[in-house]
Amino acid sequence: MKNIIVAQSGGPTVAINASLVGVLREAVDGGKYDRVFGALHGISGVLKEDFKELTIKDENGGFSYDKELADLIYRSPSSYLGSCRYKMPEAEDDESSYKKIFEIFDKYEIAAFFYIGGNDSMDTVAKLSSYAEKIGSDVRIAGVPKTVDNDLIITDHTPGFGSAAKFIATSMVEITHDTAVYEAPCVTIVEIMGRDAGWLTASSVLARNEYSSLPQLIYLPEVAFSEKSFIEDIKKLLEKTTNIVVAVSEGIHDSQGVYLAATSKAEDRFGHAQLSGAGKVLEGIVKGELGIKCRAVELNLPQRCAAHLASGSDLKEAAELGAKAVDFTAEGSTGFMPVIKRLSDKPYAYEIDKTDVRNVANQEKKIPLEWINEAGNDVTGEMIDYLKPLIEGETGVTYKNGIPVYADISHLTRPQGM
Amino acid sequence: MKNIIVAQSGGPTVAINASLVGVLREAVDGGKYDRVFGALHGISGVLKEDFKELTIKDENGGFSYDKELADLIYRSPSSYLGSCRYKMPEAEDDESSYKKIFEIFDKYEIAAFFYIGGNDSMDTVAKLSSYAEKIGSDVRIAGVPKTVDNDLIITDHTPGFGSAAKFIATSMVEITHDTAVYEAPCVTIVEIMGRDAGWLTASSVLARNEYSSLPQLIYLPEVAFSEKSFIEDIKKLLEKTTNIVVAVSEGIHDSQGVYLAATSKAEDRFGHAQLSGAGKVLEGIVKGELGIKCRAVELNLPQRCAAHLASGSDLKEAAELGAKAVDFTAEGSTGFMPVIKRLSDKPYAYEIDKTDVRNVANQEKKIPLEWINEAGNDVTGEMIDYLKPLIEGETGVTYKNGIPVYADISHLTRPQGM
């Protein structure tokens, strides 16, 4: 038997399940492996032997899977197998969990392990593959990239990001319509995820079109934020329009690196510390300095789970990366992560390659400074060319009783002991 | 010539433009009127003669309109004609604006005026129709209902509400998937619009399905909120699950009527008052009292502008109400608002009637107490039966470059003097 385990880790995205299905389809339909076990809640599910088998034994003694369910999982938000934030110790410090994992690999006749996640998960992949090498195990260990933040290096972009960008751009268009209706001047601050890398905030630029240049201002964590320049930027816009919309990263900070959000700590009436977001802080500044209407809007969790607005190209690539990871392990590779290499913007073309996972783990990709304008309040055309292909295509949502249908995930929250 | 003016007022919704198109189509295609003028920014656009004509003179001397544009406006969020918060004075106190409006009605050969809006707008309709009666004008004055809050009386429900409810239910399903992935207990508080009426918050109940009873708790402004009971409710749930999701109205208040949000005023580092929302206040309570992970999510503006998730039945009814308002005026009625009379829940059936607008103006419809459970933390089956038909159907979104296409509204924010 040549079986595999697949698991998911880190914050969920809209595309992380497409990668899972990509692994499953290629393992079975591609005839690469026999049984596919999903480990629940990441690597900790492996340690606890908490598996959900994704394959079914068919009448010929081979293994197949429920294709209808796989299609449903493909377009469902969040991690179908659950997640964890477990960080593996160094094997030199504590070998016990490594020993246990490889015993379980033996027990289940595992030929390859696939870990779908961000840079913390790639650290786990690096450690497990080093340990496999050390003990002479031939279990192949592969990472499959995902993160809404798009902050993994080497790969052109990361599954999950395109769908989040599509949600942000769409919401931004809708918000700019909503804020256009009154005659009195109004500033709307839209706070977007991404504490250290501004990719998601930058994607709000895609809301601009033939009749609208909104959001007029985009502030990213890659450049120091100045309150003085911000107020000047708003004043200048007020000379020609009443409808000002600003996109701002939750992680903007001043030239000393002090986060705008972190410095506005206040206590509520219960004495609990309240951490206002960057948007709320800017709302206070606009109201205080300019005395005009201002509203902060935080896009929040829907950015990473609004599967009804998934990017078709994002899910397709996520599945391809999962499938390619299977192929690479079947060819003998280990300790790698498949990556997207962009060949051209227009027409959009890419190929899938791989990189040693140690090149990726614990690193962070920020926006190149030349893709940000000189004033530090907007992005350039190169950024737009980069972003455009990533939000293309829709996935076709199935509605039941007026609500999108997603895969049953009650296996993740079953009561203890069941 | 028998022309009409149509205008929009109050907060925008996803369905307010469908009513506008309903008026336009019935006026022209129904052969009821000649030219259709849209007044920009509500009644203040009438006073300023700031019109955007929606009809086009055709070669036969009759009037038609751009059907493709009308279809696009139909499914576009926000108010295509803009809005205002202008409140008409009493005619006894100040007749000047009334005189001016009726002079403009004469000048443009206006036979009927349609005001699409909420209860404030119905106050304007009531005042204008009383004045018309007083001066013996035969200009017909009609209201067309809209409000996301669903708080207009007499009508079974209000256009705009169904689409907002569909967005809330969908986002809630997606959020409950997202929050299910970790093993550690976590409470997620979703704050929903509706300060005095809980209809929107109640619609989160539609997120429940065969595999999920989330959100487990729903707190509405119609019943007094008790922090003690809230903590007890959470503790009880923690005995059987780790994934707790709570829907809460922005307007929850204690038995003294003190808003939870209003009492948590704090100052940020700039000395500006920061008003934490009800969700953020509850987040502080959960963290402080139970010491577990808690996250507040405010759904915010997308609730009333996420047109890509519009309810098909909502937009259809919105257009029908606009069309019926045209028919009623053509038959001689004035000073009325068309209303939806529900005939049955299953199968859903309704008819459109009308009511004297003075019955509606300045009143507010709250959730009947018998539709809320005894513990005051959930809604009953009657509420679910009421809500279900309102989110049915989708509208078919056209995407361009990965983003929904909506109508150009740059006429609303053109620079002064252009």
Residue B200's pLDDT band, with cuts at 50, 70 and 90, is very high
Question: Rounded to two decimals, what is the model's pTM?
Answer: 0.96
Contact residues, chain A, for B12 at CB < 8 Å: 177-178, 181
Task: Report the pLDDT value the prediction gives residue A219, as an integer from 0 to 100.
Answer: 98
Using the Cβ of A398 and the Cβ atoms of chain B, whether some distance falls under 8 Å is answered with no
Asked whether the predicted pLDDT for residue B268 surpasses 70, the reply is no
Contact residues, chain B, for A297 at CB < 8 Å: 300-301
pLDDT tens, B10-25? 999 999 999 999 999 9
DSSP B326: H
How many percent of chain B have pLDDT more than 90?
A: 89
pLDDT tens, B289-319? 999 999 999 999 999 999 999 999 999 999 9
Asked whether the predicted pLDDT for residue B269 surpasses 90, the reply is no
Task: Report the pLDDT value the prediction gives residue A416, as an integer from 0 to 100.
Answer: 47
Task: Report the pLDDT value the prediction gives residue A396, as an integer from 0 to 100.
Answer: 86
Task: Report the pLDDT value the prediction gives residue B197, as an integer from 0 to 100.
Answer: 93
Regions of chain A short of the pLDDT cut 70 = 262-276, 414-418
pLDDT tens, B93-103? 999 999 999 99
pLDDT tens, B233-256? 999 999 999 999 999 999 999 999
Closest chain A residue to B44, measured at CA: A183
Task: Report the pLDDT value the prediction gives residue B418, as an integer from 0 to 100.
Answer: 36
Rg, C-alpha atoms of chain B: 23
Using the Cβ of A392 and the Cβ atoms of chain B, whether some distance falls under 8 Å is answered with yes
Using the Cβ of A10 and the Cβ atoms of chain B, whether some distance falls under 8 Å is answered with no
> In chain A, count of helices (H) and strands (E)?
12, 17
Please state the rounded mean pLDDT for residues B51-75.
Answer: 96
CA distances from B31 to B116, B335, B354, B363 (A): 21, 22, 21, 34
CA distances from B61 to B29, B34, B68 (A): 15, 10, 21
For the ranges B9-13, B181-185, B258-262, the lowest mean pLDDT is seen at: B258-262
Whether the CB-CB separation of A179 and A187 falls below 8 Å is answered with: no
Q: Do A181 and B76 touch (CB under 8 A)?
A: no
Identity of the amino acid at B399 = Y
Q: How far is CA B244 from the centre of its chain?
A: 29
Q: How far apart are CA B174 and CA A310, in angstroms?
A: 12
Task: Report the pLDDT value the prediction gives residue B415, as an integer from 0 to 100.
Answer: 56
Whether the CB-CB separation of A126 and A30 falls below 8 Å is answered with: no
Identity of the amino acid at B247 = A
For the ranges A148-162, A266-280, B41-55, B186-200, the lowest mean pLDDT is seen at: A266-280
Please state the rounded mean pLDDT for residues B321-325.
Answer: 98
Asked whether the predicted pLDDT for residue B395 surpasses 50, the reply is yes
Maximum distance among all Cα pairs of chain A, rounded to whole angstroms: 75
> In chain B, count of helices (H) and strands (E)?
12, 17
Task: Report the pLDDT value the prediction gives residue B416, as an integer from 0 to 100.
Answer: 47
CA distances from B207 to A156, A205, A404, B386 (A): 36, 32, 10, 15
Which residues 197-216 of chain B have a CB within 8 Å of chain A? 206-207, 209-212
Interface with chain A: mutation pick from B14, B403, B412, highest number of A CBs within 10 Å: B403
C-alpha distance from B271 to closest chain A C-alpha (Å):
9
DSSP letters spanning B166-213 = HHHHHHHHHHHHHTTS-SS-EEEEEEES-SS--HHHHGGGGG-BTTB-
Residue B266's pLDDT band, with cuts at 50, 70 and 90, is low
Asked whether the predicted pLDDT for residue B277 surpasses 50, the reply is yes
Pairing relationship of beta strands A110-117 and A3-8 according to DSSP bridges: parallel
Task: Report the pLDDT value the prediction gives residue A275, as an integer from 0 to 100.
Answer: 56
Q: How far apart are CA A208 and CA A393, in angstroms?
A: 18
